[in-house]
Amino acid sequence: MKLSALIRIIALVAASCLSEAQAMAADGLITIKSSFGPEDTMKRLETEVKAKGLAVFAHVDHAAGAAAVGLTLRPTDLLIFGNAKGGTPLMQQAQTAGIDLPLKALVWQDEQGATWLSYNDPAYLAGRHGAGEPAKAAVAAMTAALHAIATKATVP
């Protein structure tokens, strides 16, 4: 086998592994394009979270953190929110789900200037932690609430 053919095969295998790793990194992540800029999307997200009766536990402005140490980062804001009534049933089935709760949503801007809202799919989280049938109603409620919140935050 020629060296150039071997190099092409190795490059193909490496590219295949890289694309598979990128796809795996997105497992369980729901991402929706926003019709608004990052600041407006985050304001709308927080308004909807509160309208649903959920508590906002933290707001992490990653871009501001980067700027504070002399680095640049496109707008990247994380909102951490939820309530014990919604998350506890999942943790009662699989206590390790506490690592993924409370719920989180990330508002971020891509290289082309588009704004996106991303959040973890509750069904994926339940599966990740092996939560059983008793958590199904809580997962369905979280899924519906997140979908409604994300839609109101991103769609006019």
The per-residue pLDDT string of the chain (156 residues; one tens digit each, 9 = 90 and over) reads 454 443 444 444 444 443 333 333 478 999 999 999 999 999 999 999 999 999 999 999 999 999 999 999 999 999 999 999 999 999 999 999 999 999 999 999 999 999 999 999 999 999 999 998 889 999 999 999 999 999 999 999
Residues paired with residue 31 on neighbouring β-strands, in sequence order: 118
pTM, entire model: 0.82
